[in-house]
Amino acid sequence: MKLYKKLEQLNKNNANHFQIKSYLLKCLESYIKYNSSGYLKKGINLAKKFLKGQVTITSKELRKYSWCLEGEMFAVEFYKYEYTYYKVHPLKNMKHDLFRIRLREHLTHKQAKAYLQLLLYFVVYVFDHIIYGSTKFFRYEEYEQFLCPLIFKHYFKNYTIQ
């Protein structure tokens, strides 16, 4: 069974939601290297504090970072389809992110754009899940590539992966 299905099953069985959300944040941490704007790192740090119930962090502050990351997601989506009036990518940070993805993941430029777009969709999903406490889980099987089985084993020791 795939990890996203296992998470869905844990969620339905009223597993510790703090643990699930912490797991998702830990998975995101390994992708900070692909976000040179800094929003992902700052957002993850705020989300951890938010989950721990630190009163200085509000959902409004967390939504700000989610909104910024969503903006990056739409910028990549816009750039991915190579509209003719966009000769050069408008965001310098994104150009660096795409270059890193191409090198580390061994992808073409077009594949790197698709990868970054999907990664940012996953990031926004995780933030929405944390902020709004959504009970629905992944709608897309493609997110599976961003979930780490080793981290899963650490967070859910009593749950076996088949």
What is the per-residue pLDDT for 130? Answer: 82
Digit-coded pLDDT (tens) for 86-113 = 445 556 777 888 889 999 999 988 888 8
Q: How much is the pLDDT for 104?
A: 93
Which DSSP string corresponds to 14-82?
Answer: T--HHHHHHHHHHHHHTTGGG-TTSHHHHHHHHHHHHHTT-TT--HHHHHHHHHHHHHHHHHHHHHHTT
pLDDT (tens digit, 9 = 90+) per residue, 103-160? 999 998 888 888 988 898 898 888 888 877 765 666 667 888 999 999 998 988 876 5
pTM > 0.85: yes or no: no
Instruction: Round to whole Å and give the CA distance between 49 and 147.
Output: 22
